[in-house]
């Protein structure tokens, strides 16, 4: 009987300890005093980019933060702010084959992101994030552009989110 009570007490303290831990299985580390965020519309500073790209990137980052954190969206005095500039949007040939033809083309996108943490300035940063998607030379870029942008966007948003909210 005493061993059952001891085991029950031990189990209780283990559960209490696990629930009190700050560790998150997602790796997100947001201090308790950070409650709000804002994602400013991206600006485009590169030729040939789809004008909707700015809204697409801003919406994707905003949605990810809302979905995967406890933060609330606020455009009035937010605790964290994201300001992005699309600085590169280019298509270039890759994987040359004999006879000076290429097997693939690559869509490269670079975003300069400024993250401002008003609660802890040491966590703020300004950094470039880049990603690319490849497609065959036999494919019409305009017909697959949305899918390529979605692929690139998913990775850029993931990288920005991780840089802002994980301490890896």
pLDDT tens across the length of the chain (168 residues): 555 554 444 444 444 343 333 333 456 888 899 999 999 999 999 988 988 999 999 999 999 999 999 999 999 999 999 999 999 999 998 867 666 677 889 999 999 999 999 999 999 999 999 999 999 988 999 999 999 999 999 999 999 999 999 864
CA 12 vs CA 1, 2, 15, 22, 73: distances in Å: 17, 15, 5, 18, 37
Q: Which two tokens stand for residue 93?
A: 């040939």
DSSP conformation letters of the chain: -HHHHHHHHHHHHHHHHHHH----TT-B---TT--EEEEPPPEE-STT--TTHHHHHHHHHHHHHHHHSS-EE-SSS-SEEEEEEEEEEEEEEEEEETTTEEEEEEEEEEEEEEEEETT-GGG-EEEEEEEEEEEETTS-HHHHHHHHHHHHHHHHHHHHHHHHHB--
Amino acid 43: pLDDT: 94
Q: Which two tokens stand for residue 32?
A: 């308790």
Amino acid 100: pLDDT: 65
- What is the residue whose two structure tokens read 């809204």? 55
Domains of the chain plus CATH, in order, are 30-165 (3.30.160.150)
pTM above 0.85, yes or no: no
Q: Evaluate whether 71 touches 52 at the Cβ level (below 8 Å).
A: no
Closest-CA residue to 80 (of 71, 88, 70, 91): 71
Within 13 A of 94's CA, how many CA atoms are on the CB side? 13
């Amino acid at each position: 009987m005493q061993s059952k009570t001891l085991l029950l007490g031990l189990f209780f303290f283990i559960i209490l300890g696990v629930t009190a831990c700050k560790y998150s299985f997602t790796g997100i580390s947001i201090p308790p005093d950070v409650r709000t965020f804002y994602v400013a519309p991206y600006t485009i500073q590169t030729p040939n980019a789809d004008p909707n790209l700015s809204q697409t990137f801003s919406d994707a980052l905003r949605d990810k933060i809302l979905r995967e954190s406890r933060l609330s969206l606020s455009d009035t005095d937010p605790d964290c702010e994201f300001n992005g500039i699309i600085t590169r949007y280019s298509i270039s040939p890759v994987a040359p084959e004999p006879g000076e033809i290429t097997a693939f083309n690559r869509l490269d996108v670079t975003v300069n992101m400024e993250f401002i943490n008003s609660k802890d300035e040491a966590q703020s940063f300004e950094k470039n994030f880049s990603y690319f998607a490849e497609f065959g030379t036999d494919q019409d870029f305009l017909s697959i552009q949305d899918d390529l942008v979605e692929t690139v966007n998913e990775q850029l948003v993931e990288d920005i989110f991780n840089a802002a909210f994980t301490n890896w």
